[in-house]
Structures are given as structure tokens and as C-alpha cells.
Amino acid sequence: MSTAIIDARGWQSSFDLKTGEKVDPESDAQRIVKEVLQKHPYPGDMDKGSNRWVSDTAFELIDKYMPRFVFLSYAAQYFSLRYTPMTDEARSSIIAGAFREAERFAEVSGYTTIIVGTGDMTPLIDNIDITRLDGLALCTNWSARYAGLYEPSDKDMTLLSSHPFIEKIVPREEVVRLFNGSPDQALRVPEFLMVARRGYAFKALSPTMKTPVMIPSDNFTVPVSLPGSEISDITCIRGEIEKLISDRNIALIILEGAGINDFPLPYRSCSNGKEWFSYETGDAQYLTISTGEHRFFDYPKGYKYYDETDVNNDFPFSGYFKSIPENTFASSFPERSIAVGNKSMFMHMVTGADISIECFSRNMFNQGTMAVIHRDNK
């Protein structure tokens, strides 16, 4: 059983992660995690201390749990860049601050670090309104570049095919072929996947999401900093971890919103997708990195998420995630691992770490912190 511990500014309670039922017995691991949560309240997604919170929380957990593998996500700069208008100078400064925090972690912890930038951001030029079609169009999970299309009319297809902001419209069969999907996986892929041109974002009905000022660019390559490595694809990162961790502690650091244009460290330019598809910052990119295989189908872009929503669903604290993804590196690593990040849901769902601590936020509303203990027997 995986245990979730929620800390809402001092109020703490433990739950079964899958069922949401309260858990009363307290293990040694739970006591350790509760102490860390109480000592490190989350300042907020765009607070200046948000990335520092990631490092400081990780230091505390490392001291108490002594893991061999650490997975960190620094995302404050991504949220700020996406939603806050700023000058080029301010933008450069905020990204530089994220790198300084990652370097502080490396220096203090002594871990060998693999630093991955999720890709450059680009200013939002305009939206592509897909709310008035005859068919159904859906955007999912923070995606700007992709949207799903279902049962479009001939009029819809004529309009969309000639739209100057749309790069291409890909039928389901082509998406499934590209990622070697199974018949079951194909059922969750939209009839058509629409791809926006750089700088444009699909706009569907979404009452909770703020309007961005910057969005992920079409990042077909992203920077990976690992001196001595010759990898060329983000699917190769897991293999590098497996090779290096035999004789040293490893920290995999994800820097959201940082791409090749902003990367101050020596890096390898690594493929971030396949053919016409590039990963945006999100669950598919994280899972591809942590598993070493393309993971488009876990939560496909533009899928009918509402078909899988039910008040009785498992994993009530995990947002749109409906199961714990398989084959992540840390989930099969026999020694201790942790994950810390200011990216809610991702730390406990896509990293596979024994113990994770993350902000407990939804659509950037700060509700406290959450820890998840997947394993406490190492």
C-alpha cells in the first residue's frame, strides 16, 4: 500500500493513496516524512523561494533517509514564465536563478547530477479557437500545442485544414503507428490530433486555467547536461543513470521552461520526440525520461479524459492520474530513492521513488504539501 500524507499548514493526516481512506498506524517512514513536511511549508508555485524549497526539502530528506537516487523537479520558473509578463532581462534572470539552485543542490549534496531542460518557451502569438466546431475538440493537461478532434464535419475539416495557425492534422492511425501502440491504446487516442504552429495555442473550454503569455516552443531537441556522455535522445537518460549509479549517488534534475537557448552548462542536444511530434513539458516527457521509452499513451494529448472521471475512481489525490505508471527507474531500483519537486502529482506518480514530497497544488492554488511513501522496507 502506498501512503499519502497531506500537510495543510500544520494539519497533517495520512491516507491510502489508492482508495483515499484514512490510515491510522504510523510507521517510522511516516514519522520522518511528517517532520520534514512540518519543517518545510510550501511557499507557492511562483514564490521566489519555491525552487529553494525543493532543494532544502531534499537536503532534509537525504539526511534522514540517505537515498542513492534523487529525482528533483524545479518548476517555479516555468509557472512564472508562462503566466507573468516580463522583460527579456527578467526572464533571463529567473532562469539563471533556477540553475543556481540546481548547482547549489549539487554542491551541498555531493551527488552526481544529470540536468535536463524541458525546452524553450516562446511568446504566445495568438489562440486557435476550437470551441465552435460541429465536432468535439479537446485540450488536455496543460497542453498548448496539441488538441484532439472527434467526429468533425466536412466543414470542420475544410476550416481546420486551411487554418494558418495549424501545422498539421494527424489521423489516429498515424499516431498509433508512430508510437507503436496496441489496439487497446488506440482506443484512447483522439480521432485526429491537431498540431499548432510555433507560438500558437489551442483554446478549448477550460474554466480553471489562466491565459498564458508564453508557451512551450516546438522543442524537437532539449539540452541534457552530463559530462562525458554521448547520448542523443531523452530515452537514453535512464540507461546513463543505470551505468553511473553503480559507484556513485545520482540526482536527476528536471529544469522546466529551460531550453537550448537558455542553457548555461555544457550539454548534449537530445531528441525530444519522434518525427513530427515533440514533447511539451508534462507527464509524457517526464515518463519518457524516467522509463527510457516513449510514453505517449498513458494520457494521450486530446483524449476524452471525462470518460475516465468518476467520483469513485482510485487515486483521489493524484489529479488526472488513474494508476501508478509502470517501469520507472526508481520503482525497480533496489536501493533507496526519493523525489522532491514543486510540480504537484508528478513527483509521486512519474518518478517511481520510494518517498516523494511535492507541493499540493491544483491549477496553481496552494493547498499545502503532500508526501507519498510507496516503499518503506529498504
Return the closest-CA partner of residue 243 out of 114, 102, 57, 363: 114
In angstroms, rounded to a whole number, what is the distance separating the alpha carbons of residues 217 and 223? Answer: 14
Half-sphere exposure of 262 (CA within 13 A, CB side): 29
**How far, in Å, are 44, 177, 183, 196, 246 from residue 189 at the CA level?**
34, 12, 10, 17, 39
Task: Give the bridge partners for 201, in sequence order.
Answer: 127
End-to-end CA separation in angstroms for the chain: 15
Sequence-distant (6+) residues with CB within 8 A of 124 are: 144, 199, 200, 201, 212, 213, 214, 215
In angstroms, rounded to a whole number, what is the distance separating the alpha carbons of residues 221 and 126? Answer: 24
pLDDT the model gives residue 204:
85
pLDDT the model gives residue 294:
98
In angstroms, rounded to a whole number, what is the distance separating the alpha carbons of residues 319 and 220? Answer: 28
For the entire predicted model, the pTM comes to 0.95
In angstroms, rounded to a whole number, what is the distance separating the alpha carbons of residues 46 and 97? Answer: 13
Structural contact between residues 281 and 78, judged by C-beta atoms closer than 8 angstroms: yes
pLDDT the model gives residue 322:
86
Q: Read off φ and ψ for residue 307, nearest 5 degrees.
A: -65, -20
pLDDT the model gives residue 311:
60
Q: Which domains does the chain have, with CATH numbers?
A: 3-119+222-373 (no CATH), 125-211 (3.30.1360.110)
Q: Which amino acid is at 63?
A: D
Sequence-distant (6+) residues with CB within 8 A of 107 are: none
Q: Which amino acid is at 187?
A: L
Give me the DSSP letters along 93-131. Answer: HHHHHHHHHHHHHHHHH--EEEEEE---EEE--EEEE-S
157 membership: H or E segment, kind and range = helix 154-161
pLDDT the model gives residue 363:
57
Tell me the mean pLDDT per 10 residues along the chain, length 378. Answer: 89 92 86 94 90 98 97 96 94 96 98 98 96 93 90 97 98 98 95 98 75 95 94 97 97 98 96 98 96 96 78 81 93 97 92 94 72 93
